[in-house]
Amino acid sequence: MLTFLLLLSLVFGVLFVLYVYIQFQKSFKLWSSQGVPTIPPSFPSGHLDSRMAYMNFGLMAIDLYKKLKSKGDYVGLYFLNKPVLFVLTPEFAKTVLVRDFSYFVNRGVYFNKEDDPLSANLFFIEDSDWRRLRIKMTPTFTSGKIKNMFFTIKDVADEMVKHLETKWQNKRANSEFNIEITDLMARYNTDVIVSCAFGTQCDSLSNSKSEFRAVGKKMLTFSRIRLLKLYAAMLFRRPARALGFRLLHNDVSEFIIAMCKKTIEERKAKHIERRDFMQLMIDLYREDNDDVNSDGEGLSLKDIAAQVFLFFFAGFETSSTAMTYALYELALNRVIQDKVRTEINDVLSRHGGKITYDSLMEMTYLDQVIYETMRMHPAVGTLHRIISKDYTLPNGAVAPKGTYVIIPAVAFHNDAELFPDPQRFDPDRFSDANKSTRHAFAYLPFGEGPRICLGVRFGMLQTKLGLAMLLKHFQFETCAKTQIPIKIDNVSLLLLPSSGVWLKANKM
Ligand code: HEM
């Protein structure tokens, strides 16, 4: 009997594999049968790379791009048997991100509103839910509103400089002052986001045990297994939702929801109004929905918590990465560092020595330094979309609804045909004259089109102000502990340094 059952399961097993094999072979014909450039897939992975288990996705995208670039505007691939369109030119990136946006509204990334309410934020949500919320939130990010937050950010930047100066004064005489800048930048940006989003000070710069810093660290920390589960959830969104797969750690969600609830209730009780993100969210919340626990038409508590979480999640790691890499590149390129410091000092001397919003806006070479940093080291390596209705490609082939689209921004940024000598740090690439010589979509650190980063102005302001203050007071150089080149973290969704970045700082 046992032998019979074993035999039966073996037969079923073989039949099942055969069935899956036949189905996959059928799916694998999608691109080649329509004349879309492709390369032969393997069964069952398609073009999924086993290196996904131990390599950063952005770095894999660079490899793929180099291998496939000669194929044209795009190439058709498969992740398992799911179709993927891998974009190979800035011109086709423009088609996806802007020209034919109505087909490419969504990112197709995993979120789960029921089990993981904070994942239902503007970055992840789709279609009309996204449209409605984007319209509601856009006024929050106008230059006027961001300008109002200038002094809140400046207070944090002052604290950062004071914190470094104290450390510098306390160093042993004649010893080098070496600092780990990744953690310093993360603490600065945590304090900025917390003061602008919650209107409270969290002092993670001086308090090494800050709860917000701990949450920030945990938010984007993935084990290899969790990262693979996330990739799987992206490919099988419905089953993942049915199984209640969550993107976020439970305690992170609970902490953010509790902080939002506390802040809203406190402000209501004490009639406090501030010029920060939380106030702007509370205004939206008050408009339609006055009950903290309700889920009505306006923003509910969970909606607010999801957007505040997004500011934290989208704002602090990206800006910290830009600041870390900028200081690293300036430490390697001392002539450029001197040039940007001269600009900072010249502008400030014209403004009575004070950093104000207007004086900061005059520091255009500092902008170029930041743009060039984000060219070489964009925090977000690839942009993602999913086709929401069958789409006819320029050659007449049809990419079906559900096709994933990947735009390898980091590969464009490091392509010698788009940016000659790409390994050279050269902020002059971003002078007005030089910018106009290349395709506008060759450079995509904030994405593009209607789904472009909503926080561009805020991200640039916190990055620029922090850098201006640091460079005014300190000079940076490499030290024995500096890892050159910086290695990328393989277990991260962003292109982050794999370990601390050490630099020597000298007081100016
Ligand atoms: C240097 C800092 C930053 C970088 C490099 C960055 C980069 C990006 C990128 C590449 C995207 C995807 C765009 C696309 O798919 O086309 C994005 C989306 C987004 N970012 Fe940022 N970001 C930064 C700072 C911020 C900040 C500070 C906030 C908010 C306070 C923010 C909020 C958002 C939001 C809400 C989205 C989703 C927009 C939507 O889907 O409608 N970002 N960001």
Assigned domain for 6 exists: no
Q: Is the per-residue pLDDT at 51 higher than 80?
A: no
> Using CB atoms within 10 A of its CB, is residue 27 exposed (0-12), middle (13-18) or buried (19+)?
middle
Which residue owns the Cα nearest ligand 1 atom 42?
455
Rounded distance from Cα 472 to ligand 1 centre (Å): 28
Q: Cα–Cα distance between 379 and 314 in angstroms, integer?
A: 10
| Residue 9: strand, helix, or coil | helix
Which residue owns the Cα nearest ligand 1 atom 19?
453
Assigned domain for 51 exists: yes
Q: Is the per-residue pLDDT at 291 higher than 50?
A: no
Output the pLDDT for position 15. Answer: 86
In this predicted model, what pLDDT tens digit does every residue of 437-466 receive, in sequence order?
999 999 999 999 999 999 999 999 999 999
| Atom nearest to 374 CA in ligand 1 | 5
Assigned domain for 493 exists: yes
Rounded distance from Cα 454 to ligand 1 centre (Å): 5
Output the pLDDT for position 286. Answer: 56
Rounded distance from Cα 17 to ligand 1 centre (Å): 42
Q: Which residues line ligand 1 (CB under 6 A)?
A: 122-123, 134, 310-311, 314-315, 318-319, 322, 379-380, 383, 445-448, 451-455, 458-459, 463
Cβ-Cβ contacts under 8 Å for 350 (sequence gap 6 or more): 359, 362
In this predicted model, what pLDDT tens digit does every residue of 319-372 receive, in sequence order?
999 999 999 999 999 999 999 999 999 999 999 998 999 999 999 999 999 999
Is the bond preceding 427 in cis, omega lying within 30 degrees of 0? no
Rounded distance from Cα 117 to ligand 1 centre (Å): 19
Assigned domain for 4 exists: no
Helix (H) or strand (E) holding 506: strand 502-507
Assigned domain for 120 exists: yes
Rounded distance from Cα 93 to ligand 1 centre (Å): 17
For 51-90, give the DSSP string: GGGTS-HHHHHHHHHHHHGGG-SEEEEEETTEEEEEE-SH
Q: Per mean pLDDT, which range of 11-25, 277-291, 401-415, 450-464 is the poorest?
A: 277-291
- The CATH number given to whatever domain includes residue 104 is 1.10.630.10
Q: Cα–Cα distance between 403 and 83 in angstroms, integer?
A: 5
Assigned domain for 2 exists: no
CA torsion angle 78 83 87 93 (round to 10): -160
| CB distance 448 to 97 below 8 Å | yes
Q: Per mean pLDDT, which range of 92-106, 161-175, 277-291 is the poorest?
A: 277-291
**63: its two tokens:** 């490899």
Output the pLDDT for position 220. Answer: 65
| CB distance 193 to 311 below 8 Å | yes
For 246-286, give the DSSP string: -SS-HHHHHHHHHHHHHHHHHHHHHT---SSHHHHHHHHHH
Q: Cα–Cα distance between 100 and 387 in angstroms, integer?
A: 10
Which residue owns the Cα nearest ligand 1 atom 11?
453
The domain tally of the chain equals 1
In this predicted model, what pLDDT tens digit does every residue of 202-239 receive, in sequence order?
778 888 788 888 877 777 667 777 777 888 888 888 88
Assigned domain for 26 exists: no
User: Which one of 18-32, 169-183, 410-424, 477-491 scores highest in mean pLDDT?
Assistant: 410-424
Assigned domain for 1 exists: no
Amino acid at 310: L
The domain in which residue 106 lies consists of 31-507
In this predicted model, what pLDDT tens digit does every residue of 72-102 receive, in sequence order?
999 999 998 899 999 999 999 999 999 999 9
Mean residue pLDDT of the chain comes to: 89
Helix 150-169 and helix 456-473, axial crossing angle in degrees, nearest 10? 30
Output the pLDDT for position 339. Answer: 98
Rounded distance from Cα 446 to ligand 1 centre (Å): 6
